[in-house]
A = this chain, B = another copy of it.
Amino acid sequence: MNISPLQTARYEYMPKLPGMLRNGISEICVKEGNDTQSVADQEKIAALFPNTYGKKEITFEKGANTSVSKKQAVGVILSGGQAPGGHNVVCGLYDALKATDKENVLYGFKGGPSGLLEDSYIEFDDAYINMFRNTGGFDIIGSGRTKLETEEQFAVAAEVCKKHGITAIVIIGGDDSNTNAAVLAEYMAAHNTGVQVIGCPKTIDGDLKNEDIEISFGFDTATKTYSELIGNIERDCNSAKKYWHFIKVMGRSASHVALECALETQPNICLISEEVEAKKMSLSQIADQIADAVEKRAAKGMNFGVAVIPEGVVEFVPEFKALIAEINELLAGAKADEFNALASWEEKYAFIENGLSGDAMAVFAILPQNIQQQLFLERDPHGNVQVSLIESEKLFAAMVADKLAQRKAAGTYKGKFSAQYHFFGYEGRCAFPSNFDADYCYSLGYNAFMLIQYGFTGYLSKVSNLSRPAEEWIAGGMPITKMMNMERRHGEDKPVIRKALVELDGAPFRYFEERRDTWAVETCYTFPGAIQYFGPASVCDITTRTLALEKGMLK
């Protein structure tokens, strides 16, 4: 038997729907809002989406269901990295579909978008669905990173849909997947396939966020999990009083995850990649900033601390970005063979010194040797440096140690510095979804079916007012094209949903900025503890501090 006590208990949890969806399927009607237009490049995007552009925003209300009765066969796809709550999107979708008509069927395409192309699927039934209610992971059907974006793929998808009589596809994914959902919806409409396409906003990274998406699902649970661990480490650090912990957290390019964790745990240091880029900070400046905190705390007798580092930060350091570009160039094609043929690191170092510009070499030279070696020895199949593998938590700790050694020699620093390293990512992507994510995801799925049932396509399942109790949430749909602009990608102009980075004039960053100097020097740690599913609402049902700040509910 391998069902844990918590999983057994979570099967009993009934996710909370927005008030307007709580009256049963027969009591859900549509309220049309205004026509929409894309956030930028309206003409270009309208031209690319002649069948799906400019549609109205809609919300659901309590009222007689006026949708046309027809048998629905819906296919659902999980796309990209795992995020807690994905299973509940599927469960909500299934429940609304079956509540509408027991004859309706839900297919799950296996292993991500490729499941649709390869016609690899399962048909859900109650017994199978019930094993996944309120659980983490994407193992219900698996996920994958194939992108659905070419005409050839769309034609295959249309064939598969036709074969099974599929009336709608729900794509659960991040910014790219929802962009592709909109393009697929347009294709399906243009070719009169009768297949609708609905997107659902997923990503723990928090970078799929805009006027219409208050939060992507999974961000709440993942940041709570990382914050639990950071808080535990802070408590350990403040008890043992002998280590500086350097903690890298996932989140790709954006620093939303790091910032939310900092708001939850009040560490001594949290780097924000977007600020590093805006201020054009060098590695040395960042190391000096951390070393300043170490020195000030040491002067107060506190030779310990916690520094949170967003996964993508090194790519935002202009000089480091330039170095990476030069290294990729230096090892392009056959030059890599010449490099690889060199036997010793000393010979390789000489090769590097000879090949890099003076500026790039100056940056390279200050890196610790293990990082230098990582840059040259671990490259992807295209020969490029794998930036995501760079152990930036060790990089900054080593550079801070160097700074402190200099300061010690200069007599300004008299403390002890000993570092520990952590990287949290996989630990949070498949946690049991928090009550918030369980409710939000179930609502997204339930709502997605209502959009299908009312005939909408190219829409995002939209649930908003999320900083309030679920009763007050607003369910509806927004044309995905509304969120789009044109961006240059791989040498082409493409319609895409803009990735949301941390805004330096936004409330979450400003809150952090106002307090961080105090947090750096004092010990203001906060210990969120493990995610709770059963306790008081103040502990179990509150979503992120980022959202609370964005909504002005926290000052």
Chain A interface residues toward B at CB < 8 A: 2-10, 81-82, 111, 135-139, 142-143, 225, 228-229, 231-233, 235-241, 245, 264, 266, 344-346, 370, 420, 422, 426-432, 524-536, 538-539, 542
Contact = CB atoms under 8 A, between A and B. Distances in A.
A422 B542 CA distance: 29
Contacts of A264: 4
Contacts of A534: 532, 534-536, 539
A431 B232 contact: yes
A429 B238 CA distance: 12
Nearest to A2: B526
B528 A82 contact: no
A136 B529 CA distance: 9
Contacts of A538: 5, 8-9
A136 B235 contact: yes
Given A232-B427, A432-B527, A6 B539 contact: yes
Contact of A82 (B2, B236, B533): B236
Contacts of A235: 82, 135-137, 139, 430
B236 A426 contact: yes
**Which of A139, A239, A370 lies at the interface centre, i.e. has the most chain B CB atoms within 10 A of its CB?**
A239
B232 A430 contact: yes
B239 A528 contact: no
Given A6-B530, A82-B239, A232-B430, 13 more contacts: A6-B528, A6-B532, A6-B535, A10-B529, A137-B236, A142-B241, A143-B239, A229-B229, A232-B427, A232-B428, A236-B430, A344-B346, A370-B370
Contacts of A431: 228, 232, 529-530
Contacts of A138: 239-240
Contacts of A528: 4-6
A35 to B, nearest CB: 39
A238 B87 CA distance: 14
Contacts of A344: 344-346
Nearest to A143: B239
6 closest A-B pairs (Cβ-Cβ)? Answer: A534-B535, A530-B530, A235-B430, A137-B235, A6-B529, A138-B239
A5 B427 CA distance: 22
A528 B431 CA distance: 10
12 contacts: A2-B266, A4-B528, A6-B528, A6-B529, A6-B530, A6-B539, A82-B239, A137-B527, A142-B239, A228-B530, A239-B430, A530-B533
Contacts of A529: 4, 6-7, 10, 431-432
Contacts of A233: 426-427, 430
Contacts of A81: 240
Contacts of A239: 82, 137-139, 142-143, 430
A373 to B, nearest CB: 9
Most buried by B among A235, A524, A542: A235
A313 B505 CA distance: 50
Contacts of A422: 426-427
A238 B137 contact: yes
Given A430-B235, A535-B533, A240 B82 contact: yes
A472 B499 CA distance: 57
A532 B539 CA distance: 11
Most chain B beta-carbon contacts within 10 A, residue among A82, A240, A526, A534? A240
Contact of A9 (B6, B10, B536): B536
Contacts of A143: 239-240
A437 to B, nearest CB: 13
Contacts of A10: 529
A539 B526 CA distance: 25
Contacts of A536: 5, 9, 534
Contact of A225 (B137, B232, B370): B232
A7 B264 CA distance: 13
Given A137-B236, A534-B535, A527 B142 contact: no
A228 B532 CA distance: 13
Given A82-B236, A239-B138, A529-B432, A539 B5 contact: yes
Nearest to A525: B2
A231 B431 CA distance: 8
Contact of A429 (B236, B429, B533, B542): B236
A427 B421 CA distance: 11
Nearest to A542: B5
Contacts of A237: 426
Nearest to A423: B422
Contacts of A532: 6, 530, 532-534
A527 B426 contact: no
Contact of A229 (B236, B238, B427): B427
A527 B7 contact: yes
